[in-house]
Amino acid sequence: MTPEESFEIKKSKGYLVVKSNDLIQRNRFELSLPEQKTVAYICSMIQPIQTEESGFQLEYEFKIREYCKICGIDYDNGKNYQDVKATLKKLRDKSMWLTLPDGSETTVGWLAKATTNKKSGIAH
């Protein structure tokens, strides 16, 4: 690992992800540790952008190897690609109910879709 990569990993590990108590309590037992780490990792990438629809970027991509390094996952075991795919699928398949400001409730999934590319080592 180059010094620049090491610096970026340390910098990324320092990103702050704040979760509401309701979200923590509701999903504490429903998400595995790898799923919780993945949600936190993706949330750490969220930045407001100027769009007419939502005000937030809705699609993100990351290097699987970098994700493993930041989340403390053994990235040289040869199995990390399959593990990340399995975690993303589990998050894609899970949903929860959210209460909207008007009192109505809606069901949402953690991920709308997940795509991986073994050749490039990218997930999005």
Radius of gyration of the chain (CA): 16
Domain of residue 80 covers 3-123
From residue 33, alpha-carbon distances to 28, 51, 74, 97 in Å are 9, 33, 15, 21
CATH of the domain at 43: 1.10.10.10
Q: For residue 15, what is the enclosing H or E element?
A: none
- Give 50-79 pLDDT, tens digit per residue: 666 656 667 888 999 888 888 888 777 778
The per-residue pLDDT for 87 is 93
Q: Is the overall model pTM greater than 0.85, yes or no?
A: no
Tell me the per-residue pLDDT of 13-42, one tens digit each, with 9 for 90 and over: 555 555 555 655 555 568 888 898 898 888
Domains identified in the chain, total number: 1
**1 or 108: which carries more pLDDT confidence?**
108
